[in-house]
Amino acid sequence: MTAPWSLTIAEALTALEHGSLSAVELTRALLQRIEAVDPGIRAYLAVDGDGALAQAAAADARRRGGQARPLEGIPLGIKDVISTRGVTTTCGSRLLANYTPVYDATVITRLRDAGAIMLGKLNCDEFAMGSSTEHSAFAVTRNPWNPERVPGGSSGGSAAAVAAGLALGTLGTDTGGSIRQPAALCGVTGLKPTYGRVSRYGLVAFASSLDQIGPMAWTARDCGLLLAAIAGHDPHDGTSATVATADYAAALVGDVRGLRIGVPREFFVAGMQPAVEAAVRTAIEVLRDAGATVSEVSLPHSRYALPVYYLIAPAEASANLARYDGVRFGVRGAEPGYWAALEATRGTGFGAEVRRRIMLGTYALSAGYYDAYYRRAQQVRTLIRRDYERVFADVDVLAAPTTPSVAFRIGEHQHDPLAMYLEDVCTLPANLAGIPGLVVPCGQHDGLPIGLQLLGRPFDEATLLRVGDAYQRVTDWHAHRPALA
């Protein structure tokens, strides 16, 4: 019999509906799996076992009463930058080590209303700033495919939890690739929705014009089920779009005939591992063989995405993180006097990467440099967005690599921030343009996963899910599981 923790969300829903598995049994199996496996992975920062089992019992009762909701009884993990009432939300930072929200983020409310079960909170780079989940103040999360490798970041705990069978699905956040990059490195499926598609109310902000919450799971179908639960306008979020959501399940028609796929030449960057490029190009040919038309396209301003991102994102971070002064939020330094306490709070409470980005952002916003750096970066961001608008007049979807390499070794880039930043070179442009992106597993190299990145028009997640689902119907990369003891 298939272990309950290895089921996809769709498979688990079928088993729950048919009565061959109960929500309590499923949740207990996952909690036992977490206890047995997570000490070697460190995906979780907090596990709410009693709360999860109570939710599971309530889900079983609803199902027996004929009141099952779309995700009734499905256990999920939540990235620890999303507010959860009564469960700590640390953002992977010492500053918020003891912070317990008194309210749920909108996405959590919507998942609860859909019947999902919350297992606990997942590790991440501090305040979501990083590409490896090595920058958490509490633990380094390890890649389930090889514990000497990183799982990616900043949603590394979310990706590792799915890959290791510690949750059937998770929520992550994507500011510059933080859902898509770890999904690729851990061999799972991850969806970054269009900016504004999913409410950010209750998300602890990193860069407010870039952050977006999205799902991670084994399949495109599962990501569609989770997106359907969390998407939609929220009056609590001023950046939430009023665009109607789609019927994501109906979009999974099983083929890509008639779709036009563009392959941006700029995404095959110098230094990309040959095995990564080969796997991605092979996946594109699978889509061509399935009936899609494929053509090369150009996004000329993508070459500027890395410097533009590392001006805009740190600038927004420096403003957002100014609230952590030890007075209103976070642990307070013990030194006498406001300024001494503030310096101690921020100097010891923030990790090295967060401090680095605050300094970069503060410099870019400072008098005499605002026009030269931040304003100019915003102007180039407009050019990047226009590139996508032009290309999407001729194609429906873009297909590209997600990362230039497979998962790197823990510690490999710790003393070279630029090398770490380059890991996101293929994912940053989508955040600057505000478009959706989906990553599906498409190969392996040296036993480590490779991901195909699909990018779509704004608010057209349905087409991305259609392509990802069609690809997964004729390949089995998404069915591979790491060999964990």
First to last CA, the chain: 18
Are the C-beta atoms of residues 438 and 190 closer than 8 Å to each other? yes
Point out the catalytic residue in the list 83, 93, 178, 318. 178
208 is catalytic: no
Q: Which amino acid is it at 145? A: W
The catalytically annotated residue of 22, 83, 154, 318 is: 154
CB 80 within 8 A of CB 121: yes
Percent helix, strand and coil across the chain, each to the nearest 5:
45, 15, 40
Sign of CA dihedral 234, 239, 240, 243: positive
Q: How many CB atoms lie within 10 A of CB 375?
A: 12
Sheet containing strand 397-401, strands side by side? 44-47, 117-122, 75-79, 169-173, 213-217, 189-192, 437-445, 448-456, 397-401, 260-264, 293-297
Neighbour count for residue 61 (Cβ, 10 Å): 11
Cα 427 vs. chain centroid, distance in angstroms? 11
Q: Tokens 């010891």 identify what position? A: 348
Catalytic residue of the set 22, 79, 155, 302: 79
Query: Rounded CA gap, 407 and 185, in Å?
Result: 5
Active-site residue, 154 included: yes
- Structural tokens at position 78: 């939540």
Nearest one of 323, 342, 317, 318 to 332, comparing CA atoms: 342
The candidate with the shortest Cα–Cα distance to 122, out of 147, 87, 71, is 87
Catalytic annotation present for 178: yes
Adjacent-strand bridge partners of 444: 449
The residues carrying an active-site annotation are 79, 154, 178
